[in-house]
Structure 1
Amino acid sequence: MIDELIKKIREDKENRDRFETIFIERQVAARTVLLNEGEIACYIHFIKNGCLRECFNKDGKDITFQFFFEGQPVASIDSVMNNTPSLFSIESIEPTTILSVKKQDFEMLLSTYPELKDKFQSFIFQRFSNYARLFLSRIKDTPQERYEDLVKNQPNIIKRIPQHYIASYLGITPVSLSRIRNRK
């Protein structure tokens, strides 16, 4: 999505100067927090390379509920749109390059390029679908079934994400994940 947006801006002679400066490119080290739980989000981030996660802390326990990779936008949507404290944190898992844009600038982009609004909206719907599947999986599937589904449907997570984050995402302990993996 970000590559398409940048290409569109560069090709648009009328708006190029106005939009090329709104993106802030940053390289962040692994374990860099971009947004803390409880803060009000001001930015939408696009991942050029690397990986981010959304997580929260429950009684001292770190819980991961979403991973994001190259080309994906990441934000605390509720916080950005409603100017409310974020319910979760956003953190890099590996060294990551992001392009960040402020909410008002992003809204201006979407009004200028409505076709991108449809793509962004599709991404949001897909994200909610992912949350619903994760929620239902936690209710109906065993930890073994959740792991097997992850291996089958999201192998990039298995290849790139540290085991303790995968365990947290699956709702199990790292020891339980190790047992499940050793059964294979």
Structure 2
Amino acid sequence: MNSYWERYLPYQKRLDIPAKTNLLDEGTISQYAIYIEKGSLRSYFNNNGEEKTVQFFFEEEGLSSLDSFVNNLPSPFTIVTMEPSIVYLLHRKHVLLLMDELSKETDFLMMFMKITASRLTHYSGEFISFIRDSREQRYLRLLNERPHIVQRVSQHYIASYLGVSTVHLSRIKSKIAKGNAHF
């Protein structure tokens, strides 16, 4: 697959951009697949003037507002850098050409299905966690399964991601630090 990806390097826009740079605005149609070489991004939506973080992305990850990108629909969320980042943008028309080429490869369909299944499993797990787990359990799960987020992401973004206020997140962290967490 790398040889195919490299073939499309001339069509990619390499951006070396500062923190808080929007790569996609909520309500616009996604035209690019994004690959992160360096830095971190988050996706969020606006809920009555309050940003609600949906997901975080880091080095060597790709993303897009998939439904928007595939179906030419307005994106339900914004994608923005959280720290200075180097990203590559590949326009939709080139992604479609790349997919067409790759679809002829014998292992491509299985690889694509595995990547899709992995993403769906991750998002399903998060959805179930929001229904089943307490806020404290969600934070502990984040801390145990994805500690790089806790280390690299601002507390107010983590609070938004967990669906708590920054004050509540501070209480959760204090409780855990004291060893008084009963989850």
Could you report, residue by residue, the CA deviation over 1:97-121 in whole angstroms, capped at 9, with x for unpaired residues?
A: 0011011101111222335565454
SS in 2 for 1:98: strand
* 1:8 Cα deviation from its structure 2 partner: 4.5
Q: Which residue of structure 1 aligns with residue 77 of structure 2? A: 88
Identity percentage of aligned residues: 35
Q: Which residue of structure 1 aligns with residue 159 of structure 2? A: 167
Could you report, residue by residue, the CA deviation over 1:37-71 in whole angstroms, capped at 9, with x for unpaired residues?
A: 10000000000011111100101111001111111
Q: Which residue of structure 1 aligns with residue 15 of structure 2? A: 26
Could you report, residue by residue, the CA deviation over 1:59-99 in whole angstroms, capped at 9, with x for unpaired residues?
A: 11110011111111110000010001001110111111001
Total equivalences in the alignment: 173
Whether the 8 Å contact between 1:44 and 1:103 is mirrored in structure 2 is yes
SS in 2 for 1:157: helix
Aligned with 1:144 (options 133, 136, 139): 136
Q: 2:33, 2:119 → 1: CA distance?
A: 15
TM-score (norm 1): 0.87
Confirm or deny that 1:52 pairs with 2:41.
yes
Q: Which residue of structure 2 aligns with residue 158 of structure 1? A: 150
Q: Which residue of structure 2 aligns with residue 179 of structure 1? A: 171
SS in 1 for 2:151: helix
Unaligned runs of 5+ in 1: 11-15
Confirm or deny that 1:79 pairs with 2:71.
no
Q: CA RMSD in A?
A: 1.7
Q: Which residue of structure 2 aligns with residue 40 of structure 1? A: 29
TM-score (norm 2): 0.87
Q: 1:55, 1:154 → 2: CA distance?
A: 19
Residue type of the partner of 2:174? Answer: N
SS in 2 for 1:164: helix
Residue type of the partner of 2:169? Answer: L
Whether the 8 Å contact between 1:44 and 1:100 is mirrored in structure 2 is yes
Q: 1:121, 1:74 → 2: CA distance?
A: 16
